[in-house]
Structure 1
Amino acid sequence: MIPPLATAEEPIGVAVIGAGYWGPNLVRNFQGSTSFRLRWLCDLDLHRARSVLGAYSTVEATDSLDAVLSDDRVQAVALATPAGTHLPVTLAALRAGKHVLVEKPLAATHEEGRQLVDEADRRGLTLMCDHTYCYTPAVLRIRELLHSGELGELHYLDSVRINLGLVQRDIDVIWDLAPHDLSILDFVLPEGVTPVAVAAQGADGIGAGRSCIAYLTLRLNTGAIAHVHVNWLSPVKIRTTIIGGSKRTLVWDDLNPSQRLAIFDRGVDVASPHELDVEERRDMLVSYRSGDMVAPALTEREALRTMVEEFGRAIRTGTPALTDGRSGLRVLSILEAASRSLAKGGEMIKLNGGPNG
């Protein structure tokens, strides 16, 4: 039985599943939201769940998923557990009539992700991916600039996400770090622009048994290119993305709070290149544009708070979230193709499916 949807005045009852690394962040933001009322925190380690809530919390702690899913006061659950558990726990929640928010990645495989999307569709429930970076003020502005055409036609996107990071035991650096960049790419690309193929190269310089450094190159259907560099072994932390358009170029430095975004009116102009043949293009005059740089003001707001409010909006309106299950499916499609490319020495692998993954 599907619990009745909360009215516009009544908060949506929610439970958080998982009290490890990410769960406490979800607890804090659901408790701070007027759209939700946190009812439960569920974790196999009951002591850990109680420690996260504190001694005076009115939220109930439990180690029983069944107790949470059988509670009619709970209309939604937020999952912060390892990817290998996402399929059984999310299916159980959907079959209990709950709307579900899932930490990235959506599932351990594309096929498992497809099962979750199909189940949510059959039951008319919201399935949303916690692609938190997409809800940062900087990425929301980037999406706006690309969708409005202010940057012009996209020529390239280059992203660097490197640091001296924790070498994971069960996944390589692509599955650990690249989901952030791939979800952002999926989020900001204008309508009709989509990746069609990916190539991946990686290295394991420390003998970890999996790639600790990797480079992904994605071809888009427009002829544009996207490049992602992820690395666990860098002594310095860099979070920089450059997006080149036909009109302007944007630089996003996520570690520079005083100037996260910079838009440069600088680039290369050519005279009607589509009207020239190959020989004429070689000889044509290229002009360089050197204009102003603008740093847009951004309202600082925690991305997770914005993501929680988007989850509430999707539940109340019955419309897809900005990062719905299908966006998670598209990211999984690229990750799996990248793994196949890595195994084949960097071969360019075509992506399956259309806009829905």
Structure 2
Amino acid sequence: MTQEKITVAVVGCGYWGPNLIRNFNSLPGTTLKWIVDLDKKRLEKMEALYQHAQTSSDYEQVLNDEDVDAVIIAVPVQYHFDLAKAALQAGKHVFIEKPMASSVAECKELNALAAAGNRTLMVGHTFVYSSPVRKIKEIIQSGDLGEVLYMSSRRLNLGLFQKDINVTWDLAPHDLAIMFDILGNQATSVNCVGSRNVSKNVEDITSLTITMENGPLATIQSSWLDPNKIREMTFVGSKRMLVYNDIELFEKIKIYDKGVEASPGYNSFDEFAYAYHNGDMYSPALSMVEPLKVEAQHFIDCIHSGEKPQSSGEEGLQVVQVLEASLRSLEQQGANVKI
């Protein structure tokens, strides 16, 4: 049986919106009907590229269009809640870019609206749909690393500086989404320290520590003020260690047969020793598919099937819970904040 086409509208043509427009436009069984932005120059550019789509600076036109099944939102985070709420109340399925909203309360309200209206609500945690992250999840769930002891992440670069959110809200959602997707543990508390170097209003360097429920400790370093672009995550297991370097063109994942164990028993300090092992390194093969295309198709598939998306509103809430707690911790000079 042939499925009916899903008609979509994309709201926001700034930094990331054009990528969403391109991918949703290319999906079979999907019709791109509306492109919305307040900037007329951006709309003119989109009009030239997608002549079959209608453009507008009036969001109400999308909400009132009964042909529109789904709304894709790619605007600054402070507008996520209002636009998504209006779309859900209009009976539309909703895809929101990360982070889901500006507060835990807003995320909970959107989840409740989606559930009440039986609408698909999905958050743009693009990395969880990438081949490297899916491979890491497969490796860890197979037990190849043993018990995961801790995870660390560094997401650093020079800019792009934001005015409305700090660097944790801008960059850490990627790492948090990956962490929750792979490890499956709930965060229980957060410590966050940072500094404001370029702007007096937002932190451009932060260090975030997350304590997990029955799971490993996790640290996330985020910076807009670093000379090098670094996108690196390390998972240390009781058997092996894994490094994911997203900057690498080919060997993005490297697994190291390294570890250390304390001696099982000793009678004196002189007898105390650690047993180290240092084996081979190998890099698993990966299939290179654009994660955003996989993510967009998953959203459309979930609309058809009614299944919960891999990055649903619940996962979006998890991330924002940590982000909101990080702000409270920053205000208290790095105090431990429970979630």
Is the 1:18–1:41 contact (alpha carbons within 8 Å) kept by the matching residues of 2? yes
Cα deviations across residues 30-89 of structure 1 (Å, max 9, x unaligned)? 111114211111122344223123166111112222221222221111001111111121
TM-score normalised to the size of structure 1?
A: 0.89
Cα pair distance change 1:250/1:111, threshold 3 Å:
same
Matched AA of 2:277: R
Equivalent residue for 2:45, pick from 51, 64, 73: 51
Between the aligned partners of 1:282 and 1:12, the Cα distance in structure 2 is: 71
* 1:125 aligned onto 2:122: no
Cα pair distance change 1:301/1:94, threshold 3 Å:
same
Give the structure 2 partner of residue 151 of structure 1.
Answer: 145
Give the structure 2 partner of residue 205 of structure 1.
Answer: 197
Equivalent residue for 1:296, pick from 284, 291, 294: 284
Equivalent residue for 1:335, pick from 300, 323, 338: 323
Give the structure 2 partner of residue 247 of structure 1.
Answer: 239
TM-score normalised to the size of structure 2?
A: 0.94
Cα deviations across residues 169-217 of structure 1 (Å, max 9, x unaligned)? 1221111111111111111114xx2221110010123453322111001
Between the aligned partners of 1:229 and 1:182, the Cα distance in structure 2 is: 11
Is the 1:41–1:61 contact (alpha carbons within 8 Å) kept by the matching residues of 2? yes
Matched AA of 1:33: L
Q: After TM superposition, list the pairs within 5 Å mapping 1:235-314 onto structure 2.
A: 235-270=227-262, 286-314=274-302
Cα pair distance change 1:44/1:209, threshold 3 Å:
closer
Indicate the RMSD between aligned Cα atoms, in angstroms.
2.1
Give the structure 2 partner of residue 224 of structure 1.
Answer: 216
Cα deviations across residues 113-170 of structure 1 (Å, max 9, x unaligned)? 1110110011111000001122111111112222232222110111001111122212
Is the 1:35–1:309 contact (alpha carbons within 8 Å) kept by the matching residues of 2? no
* 1:324 aligned onto 2:312: yes
Helix, strand or coil at the partner of 2:318: helix
Between the aligned partners of 1:62 and 1:206, the Cα distance in structure 2 is: 36
Matched AA of 1:129: V
Cα pair distance change 1:244/1:50, threshold 3 Å:
same
Percent of matched pairs sharing the same residue: 39
Cα pair distance change 1:146/1:24, threshold 3 Å:
same
Give the structure 1 partner of residue 63 of structure 2.
Answer: 69
Is the 1:14–1:77 contact (alpha carbons within 8 Å) kept by the matching residues of 2? yes
Between the aligned partners of 2:30 and 2:270, the Cα distance in structure 1 is: 61
Cα deviations across residues 302-331 of structure 1 (Å, max 9, x unaligned)? 110011011012111111100000111011
Is the 1:200–1:215 contact (alpha carbons within 8 Å) kept by the matching residues of 2? yes
Give the structure 2 partner of residue 4 of structure 1.
Answer: none
Cα drift, residue 22 of structure 1: 1.3
Between the aligned partners of 2:72 and 2:270, the Cα distance in structure 1 is: 56
Is the 1:266–1:291 contact (alpha carbons within 8 Å) kept by the matching residues of 2? yes
Count of aligned positions: 339
Cα pair distance change 1:285/1:300, threshold 3 Å:
same
Cα drift, residue 226 of structure 1: 0.5
Cα pair distance change 1:265/1:60, threshold 3 Å:
same
Between the aligned partners of 1:350 and 1:56, the Cα distance in structure 2 is: 47
Helix, strand or coil at the partner of 1:54: helix
Where structure 1 has 5 or more consecutive residues not aligned to the other structure, the ranges are: 1-6, 352-357
